[in-house]
Amino acid sequence: MSGAANTASWSARWRQRMWRSEPRDTGPIVLRHRRIYILPTRRGLLLIATLATMLVTSMNYALSLGFALTFLLSGLVASALLQTYRNLARIAVSPVAAGEAFAGSELAFTLSFANAGATRRGIVVTAGDRSVSVDLSAGATHIVQLSADARRRGRQPLGRVTVSTDFPLGLWRGWSYVHFPLSGIVYPTPEAPSPPLPPGREGADARRSASAAEAELAGLRDYQLGDALNRIAWKAVARGAGWYSKQFEGAGGRGLVELDWADLPPALDDELRLSRLTAWILAAEREARAFALRLPGIALPLGQGAVHRRRALAALALFPEHGS
Amino acid sequence: MIFAPAPATPLARSQLAWLAALVLFAQVPLALYVPLWTAAAGAGLVAARLALPADRLPPPRLRRWLLPLLAFAIAVGIRMKFGYFLARDPCVAFLYVLVGIKYLETRNTRDGGLLVCLALFLLLTQFFYAQTIGAALATLPALLVLGGALAALREAPTDSDWKAPIVRTARMMLQGIPIAALLFVLFPRLAGPLWGLPSDALARTGLSDRMAPGSIGALSLSDDVAFRVDFDGLAPPPAQRYWRGPVLSRFDGEAWTLLPRVRGGALVRADSRTIAYTVTLEPHGRQWLFALEQPASMPRRPADAPAPSDSDDALASLTSDHQLLARAPLLQPVRYTERSTLGIAFPGVGEAERRDNLQLPRNRNPRTIAFARELRGQVESDRAYIAAVLERFHSEPYVYTLTPSLLGRDPVDDFLFDTRRGFCEHYAGAFVVLLRAAGIPARVVTGYQGGQINPDGGYLIVRQSDAHAWAEALLDGRWQRFDPTAAVAPSRVERGLGAALPLSEQVPYMARLDLTWLKSLRLQWDSINYQWQRGVVGFNLDRQRDLLRDLRLGGARPWQIVVLAGGAILLWGIFVLGAARMRMLRADPVLALWSRAWRRLGHAGLRRAPEEGPLAYAQRAARRWPQWGELIARIGESYALLRYGPETAERADLIAALRRSVAALPTARALRGR
């Protein structure tokens, strides 16, 4: 029994080494011969088949110069193989960042490519069905942005990245797999159009359903990290007077919104609820109103600002699917 | 998808230009060997495409109908020109035009890849016709453009710099030369073709198994080299240089032909007149090997130990009439050493041979036969008779000429008594008929006579213009050579064709007597060509075996050679990659010193993360090895200063200091030991 288990783990290890199917690469990965695969491209195969035909012809007609020509071309093909290898070898790939996006838009991942050697040309970085082609200049580190379709809410891993090249002659394609545990967060698609924000529970807001446009500017206070971008007093910034955030009349009282899963109409299914809550969070942000979020099992206290918003959206993104 | 498909993107103008260069350079060397109109059509199609504006590709209708129609029409034209199609030459001509048609219809990069392959094969086909140094050089432009064309297909060039891709290709080609040389030397050569050669591959100039009036004369118009000879010691004088070839005993009244071959001739004995030499014979599509008369040993490969002549491996066999025959028609140059005893008669082999060599066709050449009987009656011995015949050739007004008069139904009669103008085959043929009519067994021997010593290299060149025919007669049970041509034109034998023929006649350039500077230049060129022929073109099964023996690989099994070659290729790869890295480091001594330092520390157990900066890493290492901490920190600091700091005048001093510091760093073992 243990023997069988051993073989299984051995073959799994071997598969992992071959295909890098699990995201187990950590830190910078230097592409070395153990990771680099090289096979001829279709064009390379065609050329090799032509060389074989030329060889057979030379053999049949005893053409010494035919042999010489065929082997000279073989030398060129072999040299191209080494060039392709060199173009890929010793590149250090590191994960940098994974982005956030709403489902249906694009999710960005960032990798860095450090090139200690000479200039690399035509390096193609592929993840999923997207690829980017870059030239890496000598001795420099390049940041490469990969984008992916944000399909479903939740965590979306970058998946296995293929770094490949067919430089210089397009006869050989060398490639390496790197698989970082890098994943971005996909928020639910905001419902559009969405019903207006639920009225606040307290104060004046309960009486008048005023729109955000009626909020009056009360004054400025010092900018604090995390303040929403649309509340920065850009005019002051532009004047060079410093960084301030706008304070709105009643922002504390009128704006308070409680977004509660339980308050939504019972007919809505889970995903639609999440979509609506997402739209409302965005609306609250737009209207500069503080909000609290309550989901089954999760409660975010009243808050405001980028960090709060991200935390709320992430909670929605990662909300367990019904039945799971 | 394991093999990356070539994306089929439409071709840009720059890509088309590269492909055109490749196709044209592949076509040019062949233009001399294909019919003129195909040469013009093939290149014209390429030019037509180039003349079209880039955005006006041939419409699909043209592709679908016109081009196949064009290809078919050209195939029909070639068929009409040659009279056949499925043979080497028509196929080469067709491929030549086909490459042009393919170029005309090339639309995307996938077509482009196919076109490159077709062009490369076309480049090979020129070697069917010539394997000279010039032919080899003629492939160079196409080879240099090849890399540019492939790179352009990979990614359309955006600038018009055409030199850089060519330089890059040349560099890669040079890099691949060790591989090419290894494969050239070690790839197994075949003794014969894989499949039957088309008949036109065999048509070569040289002596044949049939001699009719005019056949040797026609051969004499060619300056082609028949073979070259290196003598061990001095070459014998021209009059003794009779290179024996086909022996023709059967006569039908007009032409001389071979008797059926009987194996098992006996070599003559070696004595003080025996000389040794090495012949490099050009392929002539037949089996004869040429040797000075008479062979005292069997021909063998130059480096071979004296092998028993009857082994399967023997190069040749000897027939009873002393013709040396190779085991198969010669399609490749062959090189052999041989020993001959000059001026020796050899014994006949019996009654059947005697009878065969007295045969004369009935009712042909009656005047000659009557004349022979009458003359024989006037002298008392066979020898005296032969002397009388030769004297007749010498004293009567016989003319030695390449342009004899036309002969009738009894050609010997016409020649001997009426026209009296003839070339060596006329004299040899008439002489043998005269002897046979007088009851003396005789036969015609063809081969080469004389040859030219190349002062530039000291070897003998025997050309087709040295082709000759003479006679052998059986006297007192032994065969002896007689050359009636020598009686008519002694200078032919002493000094060659150019001396013997009247000035007004067309003599091949190299056979003429005057040694102009042009001629001596050609001799020098021949000397280079001889080395080329021997070393490169003539590298065949035999030469490969010799070379392997010289490399002490003579007894190696095929798998051992494969393993050896694989190891050599691996070493080559490591060397090329290592050299590239060395070059990079040498270009940047600071980086080289720093990478030596961190490598050593890495070996000692502290690996540097690729993105770790020099200062951070040096600090980490200094903490790990406190007793060397100061030194390590200094290395990191000076590297950081040199690499990222401002440009200073003391840069050279700083580099020297860094070098001293790195040199002072203990070895990895010493570091580990602490």
Contact (CB, 8 A) for B428 and B398: no
B190/A59 CB distance under 8 A: yes
Shortest Cα–Cα distance, B85 to chain A (Å): 18
Residues B97 and B230 in one domain: no
**Rounded-to-integer distance, Cα B59 and Cα B56, Å:** 8
Contact (CB, 8 A) for B124 and A66: yes
Check residue A200 and give its pLDDT.
67
A65/B195 CB distance under 8 A: no
Q: What's the whole-number mean pLDDT along residues B286-310?
A: 74
B175/A82 CB distance under 8 A: yes
Q: Cβ of B1 under 8 Å from any chain A Cβ?
A: no
Q: What's the whole-number mean pLDDT along residues B466-489?
A: 91
B536/A57 CB distance under 8 A: no
From the candidates B414, B424, B426, B526, which is the catalytic residue?
B424
B150/A170 CB distance under 8 A: yes
Residues B150 and B221 in one domain: no
The answer to whether B424 is a known catalytic residue is: yes
Predicted confidence (pLDDT) per residue in B248-290, tens digit: 999 988 889 988 888 878 888 888 888 999 998 888 888 899 9
Residue B516 within a domain = no
Residues B254 and B139 in one domain: no
Of A191 and B645, the structure prediction assigns the larger pLDDT to: A191
> What confidence tier does B438 reach under pLDDT thresholds 50, 70, 90?
very high
> What confidence tier does A316 reach under pLDDT thresholds 50, 70, 90?
very high
Contact (CB, 8 A) for B226 and B206: yes
Residue in A closest to B110 by C-alpha? A43
Residues of A in contact with B610 (CB under 8 A): 28, 30, 92, 94, 114, 116
**Rounded-to-integer distance, Cα B651 and Cα A39, Å:** 45
Check residue B294 and give its pLDDT.
86
Q: What percent of chain B has pLDDT over 70?
A: 92
Inter-chain CB pairs, A–B, below 8 Å: 186
For strands A183-187 and A100-102, give the pairing: parallel
**Predicted confidence (pLDDT) at residue B165 exceeds the cutoff of 80:** yes
The alpha carbon dihedral of B589, B594, B595, B596 has a sign of positive
Q: What's the whole-number mean pLDDT along residues B496-521?
A: 72
Residue B249 within a domain = yes
Check residue A258 and give its pLDDT.
87
**Predicted confidence (pLDDT) at residue A25 exceeds the cutoff of 90:** no
Residue B546 within a domain = no
CA nearest to A200, candidates A250, A283, A258: A258
**Rounded-to-integer distance, Cα B429 and Cα A289, Å:** 124
CA nearest to B431, candidates B495, B487, B501, B348: B487
Shortest Cα–Cα distance, B388 to chain A (Å): 51
From the candidates B230, B468, B526, B542, which is the catalytic residue?
B468
Residues of B in contact with A120 (CB under 8 A): none
B175/A77 CB distance under 8 A: no
Residue B557 within a domain = no
Predicted confidence (pLDDT) per residue in B403-419, tens digit: 777 788 888 999 999 88
Residue ranges in B241-378 assigned as alpha helix (H): 351-356, 366-378
The answer to whether B117 is a known catalytic residue is: no
Q: Which residues contact A250 (CB under 8 A, 6 or more apart)?
A: A203, A204, A205, A215, A216
Shortest Cα–Cα distance, A8 to chain B (Å): 26
Residue B151 within a domain = yes
Q: Which residues contact B120 (CB under 8 A, 6 or more apart)?
A: A47, A50, A51, A54, A73, B26, B146
Residues of B in contact with A38 (CB under 8 A): none
Q: Cβ of B544 under 8 Å from any chain A Cβ?
A: no
A76/B169 CB distance under 8 A: yes
**Residue B124: which of A57, A92, A122 has the nearest Cβ?**
A57
CA nearest to B174, candidates B149, B151, B140, B150: B140
Minimum mean pLDDT among A31-45, B120-134, B353-367, B453-467: which range?
B453-467
CA nearest to B255, candidates B298, B320, B209, B292: B209
Check residue B504 and give its pLDDT.
67
B147/A59 CB distance under 8 A: no
Helix (H, G, I), strand (E, B) or coil at A174: strand
> What confidence tier does B503 reach under pLDDT thresholds 50, 70, 90?
low
**Predicted confidence (pLDDT) at residue B432 exceeds the cutoff of 50:** yes
**Predicted confidence (pLDDT) at residue A209 exceeds the cutoff of 50:** no
Check residue B344 and give its pLDDT.
83
B176/A79 CB distance under 8 A: yes
The number of CA neighbours under 13 Å toward the Cβ of A277 is 30
Structure tokens that stand for B485 in this block: 């041509």
The 3-class secondary structure across B164-183, one letter per residue, is: HHHHHHHHHHHHHHHHHHHH
Q: What percent of chain A has pLDDT over 90?
A: 46
Residues of A in contact with B328 (CB under 8 A): none
A112/B611 CB distance under 8 A: yes
**Rounded-to-integer distance, Cα B223 and Cα A183, Å:** 80
Residues B290 and B409 in one domain: yes
Residues B594 and B488 in one domain: no
**Predicted confidence (pLDDT) at residue B203 exceeds the cutoff of 60:** no
- One-letter amino acid for residue B268 of the chain: V
Structure tokens that stand for A286 in this block: 């737009």
What is the domain count for chain B? 3
Contact (CB, 8 A) for B25 and B112: no
| Residue B248: strand pairing partners | B444
Residue B413 within a domain = yes
A65/B128 CB distance under 8 A: no
Residues of A in contact with B331 (CB under 8 A): 62
**Predicted confidence (pLDDT) at residue B661 exceeds the cutoff of 70:** yes
> What confidence tier does A206 reach under pLDDT thresholds 50, 70, 90?
very low
CA nearest to A116, candidates B546, B290, B581: B581
Q: What's the whole-number mean pLDDT along residues B24-37?
A: 91
Domain range list for chain A: 21-185, 203-215+250-317
Minimum mean pLDDT among A62-71, A191-200, B354-363: which range?
A191-200
Check residue B309 and give its pLDDT.
45
Residues of A in contact with B176 (CB under 8 A): 72, 74-79
Q: Cβ of B135 under 8 Å from any chain A Cβ?
A: yes
* Domain housing B632: 588-673
A82/B117 CB distance under 8 A: no
**Residue B187: which of A43, A62, A67 has the nearest Cβ?**
A67
CA nearest to B226, candidates B333, B336, B339: B333
Predicted confidence (pLDDT) per residue in B218-254, tens digit: 777 777 889 999 998 888 988 889 999 999 999 988 8
Q: How many Cβ atoms are within 10 Å of B141's Cβ, its own excluded? A: 17
Q: Cβ of B547 under 8 Å from any chain A Cβ?
A: no
Minimum mean pLDDT among A178-182, A308-312, B399-403: which range?
B399-403
Q: What secondary structure does DSSP assign to B5-58, as a single string?
A: PPP-PBPPHHHHHHHHHHHHHHHGGGTTTS-HHHHHHHHHHHHHHHHS-TT-PP
Of B468, B492, B511, which residue is a domain's last?
B511
> What confidence tier does A135 reach under pLDDT thresholds 50, 70, 90?
very high
Residue B51 within a domain = yes
B610/A28 CB distance under 8 A: yes
> What confidence tier does A317 reach under pLDDT thresholds 50, 70, 90?
very high
Check residue A178 and give its pLDDT.
94
Of B484, B511, B538, which residue is a domain's last?
B511
Minimum mean pLDDT among A182-196, B561-575, B576-590: which range?
B576-590
Residues B476 and B612 in one domain: no
Residues of A in contact with B127 (CB under 8 A): 58, 61, 63, 65-66, 69
**Residue B180: which of A72, A82, A85 has the nearest Cβ?**
A72
Shortest Cα–Cα distance, A66 to chain B (Å): 6
Residues of A in contact with B189 (CB under 8 A): 59, 62
Contact (CB, 8 A) for B200 and B285: no
Residues of A in contact with B187 (CB under 8 A): 67, 71
Q: What's the whole-number mean pLDDT along residues A276-301?
A: 89
The answer to whether B483 is a known catalytic residue is: yes
> What confidence tier does A226 reach under pLDDT thresholds 50, 70, 90?
low
B154/A167 CB distance under 8 A: yes
Residues of B in contact with A76 (CB under 8 A): 143, 146-147, 169, 172-173, 176
Residue in B closest to A91 by C-alpha? B610
Predicted confidence (pLDDT) per residue in A46-96, tens digit: 999 999 999 999 988 888 899 999 999 999 999 999 999 999 998 999 999
pTM score, whole prediction: 0.74
Q: What secondary structure does DSSP assign to B557-572, as a single string?
A: -HHHHHHHHHHHHHHH
Residues B222 and B132 in one domain: no
Residues B284 and B355 in one domain: yes
